[in-house]
Every structure is written in C-alpha cells, then in structure tokens.
Homo-oligomer: A and B are copies of this chain.
Amino acid sequence: MNDAPTRTPAPAAPTRREQILREAARLFAERGFHGVGVDEIGAAVGISGPGLYRHFAGKDAMLAELLIGISERLFAGGQRRVIDATSTGGGPAAVLGSLIDGHIDFALDDRALITLHDRELGQLRDSDRKQVRSLQRQYVELWVDVVGRLHPGSGEAEVRAAVHAVFGLLNSTPHLGRPGALPGRTATAALLRRLAHGAFASLSDGAPAGPAGPSVKPSAG
C-alpha cells in the first residue's frame, strides 16, 4: 500500500524523507498535528505544499511513521540495554541505570518526538495506534520487570505507576528548553539521572510518605 522501499531501506536513508520527518516532528510538537498545514511542512524543507505527496501518502502517514519509529527505537534500545547490562554481569541496579541513561539520551536528543509521543497518539488510525501502544507497553514492561526486582516490597501496580511517573520526570526536558537553562547537556543528563534514581529509591525507603508533618488542609479553593 505504501511506497515501496525505493532503495536500501535501513542504513543511510538519504535526505528528503528524513528531512521532512524531522521538520514535521518539530512543527507538530510546536503547534500540534492539526495546527500545522502541509504547506508549512513543505516550506520548512524548501518545497511547497503538495510536493510532500511524492514522499508520503498523506499527513497522517507522516505522523504514523514518526510515532511508530519512536516507539520502535525506544523499545529496541531498551531491550538492547537490558540484554547488554545483564550479559555483562550487572544486577537489576545496573540494568535500571542503563535504562535510565538510555531514556535520558533519547529525551535530550529528540525532544520533539518525546512531545509527540504522548500528545498525538489519538490522531492515528486504529491499526497504527494499536501498534504504537503495543510497543509502548513492551517498553514499560522492561522497566517494570527490573524495578520490581529491585523493590520486591512494592506491588506491581505501584511499580507500574512509579515507572510512568518517572517517565513524566524524564520527559520534562521540553519544558526546560529555556534560554539560560542548565549549563549543558551533560549537566542536564546528570541531574535527571539523580532525580530518577532518587525517585525510585523512595520506593524502598524506610522514610514514610509525608515528612511534612502537620501540613495544610486544602479544602476550599
């Protein structure tokens, strides 16, 4: 149905398709899928409007390829890291550390895709959405497995929720893109790493949930 692989499919897909995908991702992340017209996408790569249809079946196809690609890369990378860290004799702590590092790399390198990942899923056709969700679920499972092994005292539902919460933490990178943010990529990565490890560490802490003691009852707004 879709355009056949014109050339070598995998290694060095040349220029235009990737260029279009990158700009489309950026624009979709900035203004939302429905907020961007095909003319804008075309203009962003130097061609105009319907010229895009020589490379993609439609606007939906671009989004689908983006979201499926993200999910695949996330899951494949996570899987690889689990295998590598395990095969080199690392325990669950090492595996989790590698997963965190990998996710941070992804979040820092592909902010636009991170944004799209959980924003425009509803715009996909049913089949594509199912595929993305399946990949997401498998990726989450990698984390739940290792976190559950690290914190046997926590129930699976709790671990799963914690994993999602830490995803939210790591995926916050688009919000800190301000001007004079952190010194650099390395510092940001280090900070996120510490925060993520700190969050997970609280699962087995002896410390209770609320150290604030009295706290202020909210009641009325």
Q: Chain A residues in contact with chain B, CB under 8 A? A: 30-35, 73, 77, 80-81, 84-85, 88, 90, 93-94, 96-98, 100-102, 105-106, 109, 118-120, 122-123, 157-158, 160-162, 164-172, 175-176, 180-183, 187-188, 190-203, 205, 207, 209-216, 218, 221
Contact B202 A105 (CB under 8 A): no
A157-B180, A161-B181, A176-B164 given; A202·B213 CB < 8 A: no
CB distance from A99 to the nearest CB of B (A): 9
User: Which of B85, B170, B216 is in CB contact (< 8 Å) with A85?
Assistant: B216
Chain A interface main SS type? helix
Chain B residues with Cβ under 8 A from A207's Cβ?
Answer: 194, 197
Closest chain B residue, CB of each to CB of A208:
B194
Chain B residues with Cβ under 8 A from A190's Cβ?
Answer: 209-210
A–B Cβ pairs within 8 angstroms, 30 of them? A32-B120, A35-B123, A73-B221, A88-B216, A90-B212, A93-B212, A94-B215, A96-B212, A97-B213, A97-B215, A98-B212, A98-B216, A101-B212, A101-B216, A102-B216, A118-B175, A158-B182, A158-B191, A161-B181, A161-B188, A165-B172, A165-B191, A165-B192, A167-B172, A168-B170, A168-B172, A191-B209, A193-B210, A196-B199, A199-B199
Contact B35 A122 (CB under 8 A): yes
Work out how many copies of this chain go into the complex.
2
Q: A85-B216, A169-B199, A198-B198 are in contact. List 12 more A-B contacts (CB 8 A).
A: A32-B120, A77-B218, A88-B214, A90-B215, A97-B213, A101-B210, A101-B216, A102-B221, A158-B182, A160-B181, A193-B210, A194-B207
